[in-house]
Amino acid sequence: MNAIVLVQPNATDHVIHFNYGHTIIDSGKFDCIAPYPLHPIQSRYYSDPFSLAELGKSKRRIKVLFSGKTLKDMYANVRVKKFFSVIPRLEVLQFILSRFDNRSRLLNKESDKLILEQLLASNDYSNEIIISEVKTNAEDWLKILSKTDFFICPPGAKMPWCHNSVEAMAAGAIPILEYGNLFYPALQNMKNCLSYSNYAELEKAINKALEMDTVEIEAMRKNVLDYYNTYLSIPGITKKINTFSNSTNQELKVAIPFVPTREEKLSIPSRM
């Protein structure tokens, strides 16, 4: 049984049931959805919610940023397009670089790591798009995210959900993404994300980010941090569990859509 039993002295047991599968949301057979978490390494570095909260107050140095893996054999995969109807990571980045060639910079050489470090440490504001493929230290990751106003969150290698979207929100960076509907509650365009569902909307979202003024950005950042703290943070999740354990409800059905069922693992190939 995929369940956890909460036992308290002189109280009725409470049971949390876990249901998996990429299509579990469509079934409606759940009381709530488990949030996609920070990467375990980042949770270790920022186990203290107060230190994480400080990142949200950081001075921003870059308008729009992507930083992460872009291995062709992983992220050019059309698997996410066929089974989840989202644009693969490499296609997203290639489109942005080609359409915004006069407002973007690609950092993909070892020597470019110094350029990224200089941008992040500068007192100047870079009102452009930085696409960085250079490897950074894991302990610096959330600090890097805390230096950008917007973070491009294309899909992961095998499914849309990806750590970087949650980590960006934890650091107060506004996500630009195609799968805001997979969050629960769904992220809302122009409130706590910039969303798109095709190339035309992606171009519009990037243009909006580049044009947005400080007042609009700060309002959206507040919404992003409020969403993270309420629905994605460890204290927020703990609060929900405590509320359930002290309620008259004896069972709670939790959906975990980013963990495939055995049937889905067999039917959806890891690569195509």
Q: What is the pLDDT of residues 95-154, one digit of tens each?
A: 999 999 999 999 999 899 999 999 999 999 999 999 999 999 999 999 999 999 999 999
Cα three-residue angle 18-187-240, rounded to 5 degrees: 40
What is the pLDDT at residue 122? 94
Nearest to 128 by CA among 146, 102, 154: 102
Over residues 214-227, the mean pLDDT reads 97
**Mean per-residue pLDDT of the chain:** 90
Over residues 90-95, the mean pLDDT reads 95
Contact status, residue 188 vs residue 206, Cβ threshold 8 Å: no
| Cα–Cα separations (whole angstroms), residue 39 to 58, 176, 193, 257 | 21, 19, 20, 17
159-188 confidence digits (pLDDT tens): 898 899 999 999 999 999 999 999 989 999
What is the pLDDT at residue 204? 98
Dist. CA 58–CA 225, nearest whole Å: 13
Dist. CA 28–CA 184, nearest whole Å: 12
What is the pLDDT at residue 12? 87
Dist. CA 265–CA 79, nearest whole Å: 13
Tell whether the model's pLDDT for residue 267 goes beyond 80. no
Tell whether the model's pLDDT for residue 73 goes beyond 90. no
Dist. CA 115–CA 127, nearest whole Å: 15
Structural domains of the chain, with CATH: 3-36+235-267 (no CATH), 46-231 (3.40.50.2000)
| Local structure of residue 93 (DSSP, 8 states) | H
Over residues 200-225, the mean pLDDT reads 98
- The larger pLDDT score, comparing residue 45 to residue 81, is at 81
Q: Which residues of 107-129 are buried (b: 16+ CB within 10 A; e: fewer)?
A: beeeebeeebeebbeeeeebebb
| Cα–Cα separations (whole angstroms), residue 155 to 141, 163, 262 | 18, 10, 22
How far is C-alpha 112 from the chain's CA centre? 25
| Cα–Cα separations (whole angstroms), residue 84 to 50, 87, 160 | 36, 9, 7
Residue type, position 10, single letter: N
Tell whether the model's pLDDT for residue 272 goes beyond 70. no
Dist. CA 125–CA 58, nearest whole Å: 13
- The larger pLDDT score, comparing residue 54 to residue 201, is at 201
CA-CA-CA-CA torsion sign (205, 207, 210, 214)? negative
Tell whether the model's pLDDT for residue 49 goes beyond 80. no
Tell whether the model's pLDDT for residue 16 goes beyond 70. yes
Percent of the chain with pLDDT strictly greater than 70: 97
Over residues 86-93, the mean pLDDT reads 94
Tell whether the model's pLDDT for residue 45 goes beyond 80. no
